[in-house]
Structure 1
Amino acid sequence: MENGPIWPSGWQCGTCGHVVAEHDGIPMFAPELADTISGMDPKNFEMLSKVEAEHFWFVARNELIVGLINKFFPDVRRFLEIGCGNGAVLCAVAQARNWERLVGSELHPSGLAFARKRLPAQVELVQMDARHIPAEDVFDLTGAFDVIEHIADDEGVLRGLRRATQLGGGTIIAVPQHPWLWSRADDIAYHQRRYRRGELEEKLRRNGFEVLFSTSYTAVLLPFMALSRLSAKHKKGNQEVEREFDLNPLTNRIFTATLRAEVRATLSGLSWPAGGSRVVVARAV
């Protein structure tokens, strides 16, 4: 990667003179929110770190994200992911090509601790509030994958992403879809919303992006997801949610193969009308 870190140790704001704190070498732009129950419960990072590498939903989603990057933005070299969590997506993206700069941001240092272990040393990590990204026209690609649904001011995040994205650069956003799918799982995940069809596209256009492609994800498995979520709506405790991550190996292999086939169809140009998630590719204009 070229150049030094965007926010090196002891980074000082050129406008107000504030020196940014750091923890374990990671700049802390929102230390007052670090590892609080804000957007999610930080204790979930450990559980996610154990399932992301093999669970069908994460495996296929990574392949979709990398495939969309390669299809729509073959020449980009500077990528920022907000809400990178344990670094599962960044790890897949890092392997996709030679990057000049890869940056992962996360509100919670406990997630970044897992990310640091799995990511190449040259990947920059930063703790920040996604509503306040201290960068302008720095990246030619930005992304947020199942992040902005946790944030009440999701359009504030989109505006921040637009400022950080160079004119003509790209962004890819993934969110949970269909309010009728709301269940105990959304409550536990501290979701603010599930998106209506067309809602994310409208918000992107309103905040400086042109939509290039939009599709559902987990379309083929939507009946299974709907049955699982709706059956858990009126149950107490987390057992139904935990079952989604604790699949037997055969079921996981079948679901992985199914979603991989869906991803291949998506990357060939098919846009699925309904599914558990919505994924939108856009350009900064």
Structure 2
Amino acid sequence: MRIKGNDGYSFSEFETDRSPLAVHSENYYEMDGGYPLWFGWSLHSICRNGWYFKHSNTTINSIEIPFSGCLQIIRNNNVHNLTPGMAMILPEGEENRLTTPDASLDKFAFGLKGSLAAPLIYSLFGDNLLISGIDPMAIQTFYNRISPLIKSGKRQNIPAMNGIGLELLFYLASHVNKMMPAELSKAVQILNYNSGRKIKISDVARECNFSSYQLNRLFFKYYNMSPKQYLMQQKLLKACALLKETGKQIKEIAADIGYSDMHIFSREFKKRYNVTPQKYRNHVVSTGKQRHR
């Protein structure tokens, strides 16, 4: 169902279809207290295909970060497809549209405003508002730290809230790189869309006109990990989404992300998250929150 209105936080016009939303947890602190820099908004949502959100003349700078799935952002008549490990900063005062081409998108977002927001963003990022090579779990940690402070609405939490927000900005700024080569972007898309299949890195390299050595070197440059490690990360992020959002058995989920042996999948999952898939699912069900991955 299409909805039009004004944001409660930024007071700007928006248009959206929220019916495909599965999870929507939004936190904002309404009063900025006259601060020149203000991190007062955070969001975690899981969206189905068909969801979109259109901002018009926003008065808040937002940071959009997919955790799993593809987030498509249209700004300045350009289409950007963000996958896990990427982020985009959307400056205030411009129109943009967010949607997803995937069956499911799990994303985080943060907002900042104030007279120092735009100058700080420009000094840290310049025109490089599309960022790659970040760790999705680090972003989740930032969300888990700042959201309770925002939600509390307590003025004594403002310094800590803004401190965490600045940490997030500097973390993202540390991952600003030169424009990613188009061939590497193609390799990333191939790995993302084949995360549920058995795929050889050498085949991906060949498809993108790289040697395996060149592809490996570029992944370390832009993502600080090998293509194999990146593919493993995408598989396990997809497994987290399936554990949260479906009632599939563990062996079915293992098969969905390319594991023929459930025990090997469980071992890799525990190695990364320090918990078994079943305990992870139990935690999600018992707490009713989809935040611990």
Give the TM bin, normalised by the shorter chain.
Answer: under 0.3
Larger radius of gyration, structure 1 or 2?
2
Higher relative contact order (CA 8 A, sep 6+): 1
Higher strand share: 2
The TM-score normalised by the length of structure 2 is 0.26
Taking structure 1 as the reference length, the TM-score comes to 0.27
